[in-house]
Each structure stands twice: as structure tokens, then as C-alpha cells.
Amino acid sequence: MTTRTALLRAFAAAFTESGMEAPEREARALLRGCLGLTDLDLVTRGEQEVAEDDATRLRALAERRAQGEPLARLTGRREFWSLDFALSPETLVPRPETETLVEAALSLFPDRSAPLRLLDLGTGSGALLAALLSEYPAAFGVGVDLAPGAARQARANLAALGFATRAAVLVGHWGEALIGGFDLVVSNPPYIPGTDIPALQREVRTHDPLLALDGGPQGLDAYRALALALPRLLVAGGYAVLELGIGQERQVAGLLTAAGLGVEDPARADLAGIARAMIARKA
């Protein structure tokens, strides 16, 4: 008989051996995510038997986790802004620091009943767009992604969250196919210099899509395209909120300023104190 507690101990030991940080926490997260359990279930019902098929599946997943595959890739899901998102190989795993962009947008448009027109460029799983639609019930949003698989996943996530009638997802290169008229444009673009990709953590470089990571030789290619497009996409007085990589604040601000946009200085910092959300406004 295999119990929840036995699996928890076995996985924690395997994760310890692989050198993983917080191995017991990782083991608990694996059991919670793959069996639909809570921490309370693991504490009060730890001796409950796990069906052998489930135990075999969990052991295989634990082996993949020990080899560096992210938990979100194993479960196929990730929470963002308290919303649940399904992932696909073409989408990034939404990260907590990206919630800084949502917080910045909420501060720019405090009227939650405003009928805003939203645009998410490089939408991926649709996390940013869905988070904003959840906060602005009268808003309509458009998501654009170059990867057809990402666009399909974003469309499915938005529908599952109840936003299908208030959102559209397109396949395209940034905003090239759009006329404009947006009050708010958000984007978490690829911003890692291509030469830095091999040095990324294994979880990122092996399991996140390269298209969503590689920002060109200096990590600025996407920002150059965005700077050219934003003046056309935004209404007068409209805002753009862009995610930044570490150390990119000055260069991105320069690109946006050269495009005629006003830039908020400094950029909004995430919880780690890193400049993360660049705000620009069309006069």
C-alpha cells in the first residue's frame, strides 16, 4: 500500500538528493497540484492510500521535477492574479513579478467601471489580459501573439474564465494588423539578450519557449518594435505598461522617449526591488 505520506517522504528525499532548494515544500506542491489536495489533506489524511496508477504517474512526474522540469509544466497549470491558467509548450509560465504590470495599470485607471479598450501584445497564456478584464468588467481586450499555439491557449483560457465575449485573440507580429484606439497597451515582451540564454536557469532555458525569451543581441529588439507601434496604437492620453528585464530601464526609456512618448521615471519596482514596469503615455 502506498500512502500520501510515503510518497511525500520519498519525493522529498529524491529532491534533496538532486540538490533542489526546499525539497519538502516541492514534494508537497507536487502532491497538491497533481492530486488536487490541500495542505490540510496532507496533514490530516496523510495515511490515505493512493491508487497504484496515480502513484506510478506521480513517481514519473517526481523524476522529471528532480531533473529540473518546472512544476507548472508538470501540472500544466499556473495561478496568476488569483486566476487559474492552463499552459501549453508555446506559452511562458506566468511569473509573480509580472503582476507589477497589473498593479501599475490599476493605479493609472482607478475607475473600475471604465469601458477601457485593452491590448496585450505577446499575450502568451493570456494572463495579463485576463487579469485586467477581471478588474475592469466593462472593458474589452485584444491579445496578440506570434505563436499560433500560444494564441489558441490564450483564447481557451479567456473562455474558461468567462471573458470570451469581452476578448479577442489574434495571431500576428506585435500590433501590425491593428489600427489603434486603445486606452491601455500592456506587454511582457522577450527581453533576454540572445547570448545570455545558455546561462539561464535550467528550468527556464529548457522548458520556456525560446520565442518568448530571446530579445535579440541586446535584449531590446521587441522594445524597438513596440516603441514604433505604440504612438499609432494608443489614443491621446493612453498608457502603455511594459515589463522590463534587469538593467534595461534606461535603454527602454530612451526608445520610448525617442518615439514621442512621455515616460514615468522611475519604473515601478517589483517585490524584489527590481525596476519591472515601465509606464509611457501618449500626449
Where residue 213 falls among pLDDT bands split at 50, 70, 90?
confident
Read off the C-alpha cell for 47: 495515511
On the question of pLDDT at 174 being above 80, the answer is: yes
pLDDT at 103: 97
Q: What average pLDDT score do residues 198-209 get?
A: 78
Rounded-to-integer distance, Cα 223 and Cα 263, Å: 14
124 among annotated binding-site residues: yes
Q: Backbone dihedral region of 36: left (phi > 0), alpha (psi from -120 to 50 degrees) or beta? A: left
Query: For residue range 52-98, what is the model confidence (pLDDT) as tens digits?
Result: 888 889 899 888 988 888 888 888 889 999 999 999 999 999 999 99
Rounded-to-integer distance, Cα 96 and Cα 94, Å: 7
How much is the pTM? 0.88
126 among annotated binding-site residues: yes
- pLDDT top residue among 261 and 61: 261
Where residue 238 falls among pLDDT bands split at 50, 70, 90?
very high
- pLDDT top residue among 126 and 6: 126
221 among annotated binding-site residues: no
216 among annotated binding-site residues: no
Where residue 1 falls among pLDDT bands split at 50, 70, 90?
low
Which range is most confident: 47-56, 212-221, 234-243?
234-243
Residue 174's Cβ-count burial label (10 Å; 0-12, 13-18, 19+) is buried
- Omega into 189 within 30° of 0, i.e. cis? no
174 among annotated binding-site residues: yes
Phi, psi of 44, deg, nearest 5: -95, -20
191 among annotated binding-site residues: yes
Residue 232's Cβ-count burial label (10 Å; 0-12, 13-18, 19+) is middle
Where residue 34 falls among pLDDT bands split at 50, 70, 90?
confident
pLDDT at 214: 74
189 among annotated binding-site residues: yes
